[in-house]
Amino acid sequence: MRKAALTIIVAIALRTSNVLSQTVIAQWNFNAESLDPSLGQGTATLLGNVTSTFATGSAGDSGSTSNRALSIAGFPAQGKAARTAGVQFAVDTTGYENIVVWWDQRFSSTASRRAVFQMSADGETFSDALVFDAPGEGWTNKVTIDLTNYPDLSNNPLFAFRIVSDFYENDSYAPAKPDSAYSSAGTWRFDRVTITGSIIGAPLEPPVILEQPADLAIPAGAEAVFSVTASGSEPLYYQWWFGDSMILGGTNSTLEIPCVGKTNEGIYRVVVSNRIGSVTSAPASLRVINPPTIQFTNVLENLLRPGDAPTNTYSEFALQPGEILTAHVFISDSEGSPVSAMVGCDPPTQGISWLLNPPVGATLAGTLRFSPSENNSGQLFSIRLSAHNELATNTVVWKVYVPTHEERNVVLTEYLANPTSSAESPLFNPLRRDPPAPNPTQQDEFIELVNLSGTEIDLHGWTISDSAQVRHRFADSFVVSPHGAIVIYGGPTSEYPPTLDVPSIPANLNSGLSLNNTGDTILVRNAESNLVCRIVYTAKMVAPDASMTRWPDASGPFVPHATVAQTPASPGLQPDGKKWNEQTQANQIQGFRVVFQADGNLRLSWENVETATYTIWAAERIDGPYSPLATGLKGGEYGEISTGPGQCRFYRISSP
């Protein structure tokens, strides 16, 4: 019998009514830090051995400048005295019927999860009306018990109810937060404890909708709010529907749908009911409008040091003075709505220009161009493009940092992504460890940073990242000497130190450098997390049995080390083995020229040195990347090189 009663009352309680439109018989908001009611007459009594104090109230009591709540603690020990501890309220309901009780309750993480609402018609004998399990730690607002079906509680000077803690299962209390442990010191807070009723003898009226819910058109990601205004004898009940489906929890006069998407589009209606009857609202439609799509392709030109992807879709850049970022932008609307665009830059700068073409129906194209000057050094620019349709907006932001003169002198000059575990390989143990690292394919990865300036540079706070995450942070001061180099390697962090001619440090975060053999991105950031340089390499820029090094100098493109030197790698040194503070005398190759032949092919020629060998390099752009076309050449010419219509190639020649 008890279980049946509980089931019925729980079902009624979940039909939250518009209780505020009833007459408030009594209310406790505890803002005066007293057990006396703030409205009406009644008494509040602590049960069991609980003690009380006052604490911050619920967000629902937002209209008060002194928002307080009753806080109780001192519940029974684990496994003891169920349904004896809590708080009791007594209210005279004479002259009122259709009694409804609601309140806000907060459960601390270790307090009892289960609360029982008990009611009494004589102030002494109590029976269960609701078993309430907290959904977790924190506030649960407007817990509502509709007691309309209990006429002996109406027009009753002895009406009382209480809320007490109870066992959850196996004669044990459970904590409100599942991963906590129950404690008798856990707290319950109560706020806005409210008893309402309708005046006896008031005429009964069926529900009438006074204001229908309106059609809505909402941008995707925004909140949609339907509302209805109704009259009729209280209490009024609301149930919202989406198409033919009842909306769980949609039981108020307003329906809030957060973060709407296309799946929320459709027809909504609400059924308003009371004890006399029900009425269904007119249908209201929800239209969700997606923002315009912004597509862009970036082109980097005039790079002083090749390494970044010349064509990309990144939104973050490090640009040196004189380098050029061009972004080709295309805006479109999938539903055919007209589009427009607005642009901006923070802080403003004269080095940026936008060309936005006039819209063509639901599309718009434009071009961004930014070339910083020396005066922009050390500045971070946020370049914004906002695309609009009738209601929705999409925004793209390019973050462009202009490194300082000091930061521009920190250059990534060499990297090794594919160390070998074969002792027979010339690339084995490139860091000259004794003994070699136990996991060389990961731990022998390295990058080389060089300070090209004549002053010391402290890398404190700088980071090294790959495309996935930060791999190394210079947590302490780490000074790179003038024209000096450092090596950051894969690990381990405490053993097998390299024996190099320059300072070295193991990557100290997230499993070493983790450079992918099939291509990756290396990002160097300063202490403010601004991008100082980015190196993007593909599988073609990972050489077998060699590192990749800049050539012919620290501003050149990356080439396989073994093609420009006698060694497969030179961590901490120039490719020829000299220290970075030593001047390298490059071999001067005279008379390099391109000969166009009658058959349309090309032949390269140069002045030959009898003892020299040569490598021919080719690229599709003047700033690279260059790849070896032929190596180990002797003599002063190379051909035949076939060309296609409209093809443009650039060539270099080197002699190690």
The pair of structure tokens assigned to 223 is 């909140």
Of 53, 78, 85, whose CA–CA distance to 183 is shortest?
A: 78
Round to whole Å and give the CA distance between 520 and 468: 9
pLDDT for the residue numbered 14: 37
Instruction: Please name the fold of domain 406-563.
Output: Immunoglobulin-like (2.60.40)
Domain boundaries, given as residue ranges, for the chain: 2-199, 208-289, 293-402, 406-563, 593-654
What is 208-289's CATH superfamily?
A: Immunoglobulins (2.60.40.10)
CATH of domain 293-402: 2.60.40.10
Q: Give the number of other CB atoms < 10 A from CB of residue 91.
A: 28
**372-395 pLDDT, tens digit each:** 999 999 999 999 999 999 899 999
Round to whole Å and give the CA distance between 404 and 416: 27
pLDDT for the residue numbered 492: 94
The bridge status of strand 393-401 relative to strand 316-318 is: parallel
Taking the alpha carbons of 129, 133, 135, 137 in that order, is the dihedral positive or negative?
Answer: positive
Residue 18 has pLDDT above 60, yes or no: no
pLDDT for the residue numbered 190: 98
What's the mean per-residue pLDDT of the chain?
A: 91
CATH of domain 2-199: 2.60.120.260
Q: What is the mean pLDDT of residues 558-587?
A: 87
DSSP 8-state code for residue 203 = P
Q: What is the mean pLDDT of residues 232-259?
A: 92
Q: Are 207 and 277 in contact (CB under 8 A)?
A: yes
The pair of structure tokens assigned to 481 is 């000497």
pLDDT for the residue numbered 361: 86
Residue 640: HSE in the Cβ half-sphere, 13 Å Cα cutoff: 8
- Whole-prediction pTM value? 0.66
Higher pLDDT among residues 626 and 142, named by residue: 142
**502-542 pLDDT, tens digit each:** 999 999 998 899 999 999 999 999 999 999 999 999 998 99
Q: How confident is the model at residue 585 (pLDDT cuts 50, 70, 90)?
A: low
549-575 CB burial, b ≥16 within 10 A, e <16: bbbeebebbbbbbbbbbebbbbbbbbb
Of 340, 395, 400, whose CA–CA distance to 369 is shortest?
A: 400
Q: Are 653 and 552 in contact (CB under 8 A)?
A: no
The maximal CA–CA distance of the chain, rounded, in angstroms, is: 119
Q: Are 450 and 572 in contact (CB under 8 A)?
A: no
Residue 486 has pLDDT above 50, yes or no: yes
Alpha carbon distances (Å) from 88 to 120, 152, 563? 11, 19, 87
Beta strand ranges found along 402-499 (DSSP E): 410-416, 446-451, 457-458, 463-465, 470-473, 479-480, 485-489
pLDDT for the residue numbered 1: 29
Q: What is the dihedral of CA 427, 433, 439, 441, to 10 degrees?
A: -20
Whether the domain at 208-289 and the domain at 293-402 fall into the same CATH topology: yes
